[in-house]
Amino acid sequence: MVAYNLPKDVRGLIFDMDLTLYRHEDYYASQIKNQVLVLAADLGRPAAELQSLIEAWQNDFWSRTGQKPSFGNTLLGALGVPIVQSVALRRRAIRPEDYLLADPHLETTLALLESRYRLVLVTNNPADIAIRTLKVLGVERFFPRIIGLDESGHSKPHPRAFHLAYAALNLDPGQVVSVGDRYSVDLEVPLQRGSGGILVEQMEDVYALPAFLSSM
């Protein structure tokens, strides 16, 4: 866990979902793989050809920025796939039920956090995919408000998703901490807005959040 610029008076938490509220590398990889396969079938092009174009664009983005782009922005940049098409593609390709299980430790963690802070989920997946994921994990009740790709219209780190999150929390950015697994995607924009950030690198970091935040 790495903390950045934590406010003295934390009242709200913005959570990322994938590889933050669960750790399942095979499931995360399947999201990317299945989207490429579905898109290849739609376009009538070999999946390997699309994968090569995607990797070339990602490598160029990394060489220019030193950052790894979100997959939504990768499809937009590499293949011209608009966000609205990415939303539909994800709904067809992503199946959390095939990989994830309930996490009682996460449930206990979020119950403690919900008793102290307002929570909102911000994800680059559509909200309905997020709901299905949260249900499998057994924690859907903690996130009555989800900012998904279908609502924001932009893949993180675009500021709009975070703007909607602050509005949902009804809090000043200086009272909020963003929690996620990717600095450039989940934390950089909130930090620029005056929020705190917590980079989680394993599930134990998430489970430790109630005690960590209480000790501030």
4 neighbors 177 (Cβ within 8 angstroms): no
The confidence score (pLDDT) of residue 70 equals 87
Per-residue pLDDT of the chain (216 residues; tens, 9 = 90+): 999 999 999 999 999 999 999 999 999 999 999 999 999 999 999 999 999 999 999 999 999 998 888 898 999 999 999 989 999 999 999 999 999 999 999 999 999 999 999 999 999 999 999 999 999 999 999 999 999 999 999 999 999 999 999 999 999 999 999 999 999 999 999 999 999 999 999 999 999 999 999 987
Q: How many CB atoms lie within 10 A of CB 195?
A: 28
Q: Which fold has domain 2-24+100-214?
A: Rossmann fold (3.40.50)
Q: Provide the β-strand partners of residue 119.
A: 13
The confidence score (pLDDT) of residue 17 equals 97
Q: How many CB atoms lie within 10 A of CB 204?
A: 11
Residue 180: partners with Cβ closer than 8 Å, 6 or more residues away: 15, 16, 20, 186, 187, 197, 198, 199, 200
Domain residue spans of the chain: 2-24+100-214, 26-97
- Tokens for 125, please give them: 């997946």
The confidence score (pLDDT) of residue 215 equals 87
User: Phi first, then psi: what are they for 171, rounded to 5°?
Assistant: -135, 155
- Tokens for 41, please give them: 């079938």
The confidence score (pLDDT) of residue 68 equals 84
The confidence score (pLDDT) of residue 132 equals 96
pTM of the predicted model, to two decimals?
0.89
User: Phi first, then psi: what are they for 32, rounded to 5°?
Assistant: -70, -50
